[in-house]
Amino acid sequence: MFFAHSALAAPGDKEANQGINAAKGGFCKRAIPLLESAEGQRHRPSSAVPLADCYAKQGELLKASEIYHTVASEKKEPGYNARDVAAITSAKKKAAQIDARIPTLVVKSVEPYEGLVVEINGEAIGDPSTPQRFDPGVQLVVVARAEGHEESSQKITLKEKQRREIKLRLKPKPGATKPPEKKPPPKPVATKPPEKKPPPKPVATKPPEKKPPPKPVATKPPEKKPAATKPPQKPAEDKSGAGEVAERPVEMPEPTPPPRRRQRDVWLGAGFQGFFIPQIAFQLLGEGGRNVLVPGGDIALSTRLGGRFDLVFSVAYARFQMPETPFKPKGHPDTDYEIVESDLQALQASARLVWNIPLDRDEVFALRLGAGLGVGWTFLGDLYRTQAYPADAVPGDPSSFVPGDPYRYKKCRGPNDPAGSFRYCNQLDYDADHYPGYVEPSWFTRPSGRPQGLKPVVYPWLLLPEIGVALRPWDRVAFDLRVGASVTGLLGGLGMRVAL
């Protein structure tokens, strides 16, 4: 009964399980050969989709797309488990997403060329005017040939989601003549015979009528009337009046702009300040690690120097809380993995110089650029390190203690505890006592015969650059949003200032 599961395992299941665990942990270089071997022995959607995921992470989008579409077209078969059904469902969505990322290339000629052949990386393209898909970041050599023209060649590299189009223009070879184009003969234009119009009809004219002579009209002699006399007109009176001055238009003064908002020189502020430590920061020194969010806050006092610079003094609190995380130094074997966790808390004192760039007349909005120096003090908490072993191992069977997904490793309970874990739970000089309850000493402490401790107690702090935006809706109140890069991670902050 204890060995029933191993006896029923199908070919390739062991490689598939190890490859799936490695792919989940982000170790695609280790996962790809395992999953390819598993797929070569027996195809399962649950192992094919992680293989396509790793291809996509390494930029081999065409391979990933082919696998996604193949799995998406499958139907549930006898023997498929719940993971296989879930992989078929996810493959449909991932196929559409990966197709949108694959760049395409179109080659169009500006004029027709006889015997045109287009090759990309030595392979002839049947219809280059249709989009051709290629992996991003791969150098493509496009060669074009046509009769009577010189060969054209150019190198390009496509980016993800790029839709590139090349206009192909070939130069004729020296001495080659371009055949004249045959034009169809012009079509005869049908002409209509001139229309015959009938002669105009004669217009009948009537003889002039004879009118009788006009009768004489009797006229009366004009009557003589006495000459009418007009009354003398009075001279026009001067309505303006004696001694009055004529009114002149009054000129209104131009409106003066409102005074500029008063500049405040001293501010007191407080707000949220946190850090984000990405997993890649751990991978610079070793393998493992995880993304860590460090929350905190700060209180700051700033004063204006000159016209545009602020000198900011601040005291900040940060909580470096990290859950159980696998980690080992770079280049060390898998047996050196440890479970690392932290509940450290620190205070940081710093001085920053910030340059204000107004975006409007009254500095309601301003761009802030700066940098800072300071020191940190870890005043509370500890750093814990515990040796670890693979979770899939069978106690008592040393052959089952093989590398797997480090994010599923378990803490060793002691030397060779559980039984058979002597290669992982060992008693080497530098980690002989790294078992539950071990606390890492500070880096100012070096135990006898042991390496120097790694817990930071006092550490330097550097912020460069700092980029932010300030909003000052009222005269004595301002809000700041800022981001930056520091030795403790990517900084983000949101705070409020009050003028003193």
Question: Mind listing the pLDDT tens digit for each residue in 202-246?
Answer: 555 555 555 655 555 545 555 554 444 444 454 444 444 444 444
Question: Mind listing the pLDDT tens digit for each residue in 413-435?
Answer: 999 999 999 999 998 877 888 99
Place of tokens 């890649």: 280
Per-position pLDDT tens, the chain of length 500: 233 344 346 777 888 888 898 888 888 988 999 999 988 888 889 899 999 999 998 889 999 999 999 999 988 788 788 888 888 989 988 999 999 999 999 988 888 888 888 999 888 888 888 899 999 989 999 999 888 888 888 898 999 999 988 888 888 888 766 555 555 656 655 555 556 566 556 555 555 555 655 555 545 555 554 444 444 454 444 444 444 444 555 555 556 666 667 778 899 999 999 999 999 999 898 999 999 999 999 999 999 998 889 999 999 999 999 999 999 999 999 999 999 999 999 999 999 999 999 999 888 999 999 999 999 999 999 999 999 999 999 999 999 999 999 999 999 999 999 999 999 999 887 788 899 999 999 988 877 667 778 899 999 999 999 999 999 999 999 999 999 999 889 999 999 999 99
Q: Is the distance from CB of 45 to CB of 84 less than 8 angstroms?
A: yes
3-class SS string, the chain? CCCHHHHCCCCCHHHHHHHHHHHHCCCHHHHHHHHHHHHHHCCCHHHHHHHHHHHHHCCCHHHHHHHHHHHHCCCCCCCCCHHHHHHHHHHHHHHHHHHHHCCEEEEEECCCCCCCEEEECCEECCCCCCCEECCCCCEEEEEEECCCECCEEEEEECCCCCEEEEEECCCECCCCCCCCCCCCCCCCCCCCCCCCCCCCCCCCCCCCCCCCCCCCCCCCCCCCCCCCCCCCCCCCCCCCCCCCCCCCCCCCCCCCCCCCCCCCCEEEEEEEEEEEECHHHHHCCEEECCCEEECEEEEEEEEEECCCEEEEEEEEEEEEEEEEEEEEECCCCHHHCEEEEEEEEEEEEEEEEEEEEECCCCCCEEEEEEEEEEEEEEEECCEEEEEEECCCCCCCCHHHCCCCCHHHCEECCECCECCCCCCCCCCCCCCCCCCCCCECCECCCCCCCCCCCCECCEEEEEEEEEEEEEEEEECCEEEEEEEEEECCEEEEEEEEEEEC
What is the pLDDT at residue 445?
Answer: 82
Between the alpha carbon of residue 68 and those of residues 239, 358, 421, 422, the distances in Å are 102, 52, 39, 42
pTM: 0.49
Buried b (16+ CB within 10 A) or exposed e, 342-376: bebbbebebebebebeeeeeebeebebebebebeb
Q: What is the C-alpha to C-alpha distance for residues 179 and 163, in angstroms, rounded to an integer?
A: 35
